[in-house]
Every structure is written in C-alpha cells, then in structure tokens.
Chains A and B, each alone.
Chain A
Amino acid sequence: MSASRRSVLRGLVVPLVLLGVWFFVTHAKLVNPLLLVRPDRVVTSAIKHYEEGAIVGPLLASLQRDLLGLFIGSFAGLVIGAAMGISRLTDRLLGPTFHAAKQVALFAWIPLLSVWCGTGELAKVVFISLAAFYPVVLNTHEGVSSVGREFIEVGRVFRFSRWQVLRKIILPAALPSIFAGLHLALIYAWLGTLGAEYLLAAAPGIGNLMVEGRESFQMDKVLLGVILAGVVGATLNTLATRVEQYALRWRVRGI
C-alpha cells in the first residue's frame, strides 16, 4: 500500500521538477519568451481559445475525420485480412502486393494522394483509412490463419455450415488478434490525422491549430495543440482497452 503510494509520488518528481525549471527559467527571463512561453500563459491561452470556440470545433473536426477514416480503413482491412486468412488462394493473390505496398513509408503516399484526390477532406479521409488499413489486415490475417485445426475439426464433427464455422469458431478464436489490429489502427489513424492536417490543405483540426500556432509564432497555441493531441490519443487508447477487455471477457485466461 505504502509502496505503491511511494511509487506514485516518485512518478510525480520528474514532471514537477521540469515544471519548476520551466517556471523559473521563464520568470527569470533566461530564454527568449518567444521560444519558451510561461506555463501559466499556456493555461490562459487554453481558456481564451476555449471561450472563442477555437478548441471544441477543431477537436470535433479532427475526431470526425479520424473516426471516419478509422471505420473505412478497418472495415476494408477486416474483409481483406479475413479473406486472406481463410482462403489460401486470396492470400497468394493479394499477399505479395499487400506486403510490397506496406513497405512504403505511409506518409510518402500523401503527395500522390493529393494529386489523385485533391487536398480536401476526401484526401485526408483516404489517407487516414490507409493508415488504419495495414495493421488491421496484418493482424486479422494472422488471427484467422492461426485458428487451431482441431477447433475447425470439432465444427466439422458437428456438421457446421461454412457460415457457422466462420461465425462460431474462426471469429471468436481470431478476436484477440483482430482487436490488437484495431487498437494499432486507432493509434495509426490518429497519427495519420495529424499528418494529413499538416501536409494537406488547411481545414479546421488539431493539426491545423498547431500549424497556425507555429506560423504565427504563438508557442502557447502550439503547446495547447500538443496537449490536445496527447489527451485525445490517451483517451482513445483507454477506450479501446476497455472495449477490448469487455469484448474478450468470456475468454478463460491461461486455459
């Protein structure tokens, strides 16, 4: 009990020391205030932006983009990953192309997408979908193709139809791996959202907030963006973990 409290207190030491140094350095004017704003300025700027509606709007715009892309990308990823896992023919047809395309660093597609899909909302959502697509395909494929043969054989004994085998045996057995893929997709989609907002045409969003802040040299605005990006990332992460635990609660741990 006291040991765990001690470890919590220890965890607070480094952030508090950094915050202290930050206060000291900015109040004593040791650095250029343009390069490092005062911590309290970040808070007042956050309140000001909130009152002007410059936080909620961009936040919702980014989230909407993120979730739409995540949904499209994961759905496509689930279908293709499952098809590759179930059918050897599909795997052989699509596998090599998929693995070759996967090698290209994700953001390198953005300039190409901007020619094909414009620089507006469409290109952003397509890019975020792509970011979510890869991990879902990989993990779904992995999960579906590693379902134990004995499970499927039991299904045969019970004369399950193909659909029943899929629905009652393969899907539950592959679920942990599928969730792992979706979780990764969530992280990549958020990364992709920020990247798409930096690299494609300006539209309301958290990434755009930071770009604006940088261009007008308002570090408080940039820091606000960094904090928002972190909070959104952490919230989505926690939510995903909860959903995962809930959906997999029927699993008996350790067999």
Chain B
Amino acid sequence: MLQANTEQNLGAFEKAGPSKRPARSSRPRNGYLLAKGLGLLVPATLLLAWSVAAAKQWVPPQILPSPASVVDTLLEQVRSGDLFVNLGISLGRVVAGFAVGGAIGLLLGIAMGLSRTVEDYLHPMFKAVSQVPVLGWLPLAMMVLGIGESLKVAIIAHASLVPVALNALKGIRGVSRNYIEVAKVFQFSRRQLLGKVVLPAAVPSLFVGIRYGITQAWLSLVTVELLASSEGLGFMIVWGRQLFQLDLVLSAIIVVGAVGLLIDKSLELVESRLLRWRPRVSFEAQAAGALPSTTAGES
C-alpha cells in the first residue's frame, strides 16, 4: 500500500515541475524538432566521416566500403530478389522455431504456475538446463541433429522456450489473491476462475515472455545461420565475409537490424492493443508487490 503510494508520488513528481522528461504532448514543437535533430547529429557525423574516409581511400574498400556501395548492394539485393528469398527463409525458421518453443514454454509455464506439484517436479530440471547458455547446446545439437533445418528449429525453439515459460509461471503466481477471493465469493467454477480471472490477470507477464522469447529467437537464428547454414540472412553475412565483400555484409547487417526493430515495434503495438482494457496503474502497483488500486479502497 505504502509502496504503491510512493510509486505514484514519484510518478507525480516526475510529471510536475521542470521535469527531466516532460510528457510528449506538452513538449513544444520546436524543442521536439531540435531533439530529433540532435539525435541525427551523431549518425550524420559518422556517415560523413565514413564517406570521406572511403572517398579518400584512407582504408582499403575491402575493409571499409563506401556508404554508396553499401546502398547499391542493398538495392541490388532487393532488385534481384535475393534479399527476400533469404529473408523469407530466415523468417520461416523463426516462425517455426518460435511456434514450437513458445507453445511448449507456454504450456510448461502455465502448468507450473497452476500446480505446485508440477512445479516441484519440473522446475529444478528446468533451472539446471537453463544454466547452460543457449549457444552451449549448439555443438551438441549439431552432432545429434546435423546441420539441417531441424537444428535451426530446435535451437530457436529452445531459445524462446525458457523466457516464455518463466514469465508465464511468474505471471500466474503473481495473480493477486484478492481477485481469486472475489471469484470465490462469486462461486466461480475452476474453469471460470482460470478463463476469467487467472489468465487475463497473467496476460501482461505472458506477453513480456513472448516478446523476450521472440527477441531471443531472432538472436539465436542469426547465430545458427552464421555457424551452419547455406541460406538466410546470417548466411548472407558469412558469404559476404568470405568473399571480402563488406558491402554485402553491411547491407545484411542493416536488414537484420531493421527486421529486429520491426519485430520489436509490432509486438509493442500488439501488446498495447491487447492490454488496452487494463488500467495501467493497477499493473504497476501490482508489479511493485502492493495491492492493486482497484481493491486498495477497501482496506
């Protein structure tokens, strides 16, 4: 309770007065443009230095190709369709791997969250396995599965499974007892309790896990493709490196970054859409371990 209040007070302090981070809407238009301009200063300087260095041939083009040649290569890859073929393959692997890993992770996490017995049986094993970094399993997986598609799907599935399961477990355990008591007063059946109270209350945490899982999936995909693949974005990078065509390497890196950003932003959008119905304050208060604001009035 006290914690919730201080949290809110801190929030109030941040909003009032000459705050460090004023709300976006109250920010004057000029200041906003200035901020954007400042943000572009560093990339623009870097780009300029890069162009000059490449134009004056301070470094050989095998080590630093000119920005123009990177853009050319990127456009060439788009025109020839190579980029989309490789991108499609990479995305297909992420989708397949995440479908497997996310589904298993969600099931395991929910099962562990709902039943202490299941948690007792599975959690220690789960913890032990997750102590080894995902990449630690890679050589072993390569021996058992070879270097085909199943390897990529398995590594991506494993990478996304752990965060999804752990956050699902946390989300369900974190459901406020008050909600469950209210449901008991209404004499909800187990099914109703699960569908109408526990799962909706756990959604934010489930979503954190899914977002983190997809990020991990993308990270591991690139790694697996760097190590063992003959198609995909990671392979484009390796191939460009072997031919010493750094323009190809850089353009593939740009695409990897752009796709990462796109995935992140779209998940953010979906998350805010899905959680629209939820008063934001109660989530934060709950996350801080205090009573949710909806029931705070009773006490």
Contact = CB atoms under 8 A, between A and B. Distances in A.
Interface of A: 6-7, 10-15, 18, 35-36, 88-89, 92-97, 100-101, 103-112, 114-116, 145-146, 148-150, 187, 190-191, 194-195, 198-199, 207, 210-211, 213-214, 217, 219, 222-223, 225-227, 229-231, 233-234, 237, 254-255
A229 B133 contact: yes
**Size bracket of the B interface:** 35 or more
Contacts of A15: 124-125, 128
A150 B13 contact: yes
Given A104-B253, A226-B137, 4 more contacts: A107-B222, A194-B135, A214-B143, A227-B132
A92 to B, nearest CB: 4
A105 B120 contact: no
Highest count of chain A CB atoms <10 Å: which of B39, B122, B249 = B39
B191 interface: no
Contacts of A214: 139-140, 142-143
Interface stretch (B180-188, B198-206, B235-243, B267-275): B235-243
Contact of B136 (A107, A217, A230): A230
Contacts, number: 172
B219 A106 contact: yes
Contacts of B125: 11, 14-15, 18
A191 to B, nearest CB: 4
Contact of A97 (B43, B137, B223): B43
B104 interface: no
Interface string B23-45: 00000000000010011111100
Given A15-B124, A150-B13, A105 B256 contact: yes
Interface in B97-155: 116-117, 120-125, 128, 131-140, 142-144
B120 A223 contact: no
A96 B218 contact: no
B10 interface: yes
A237 B131 CA distance: 9
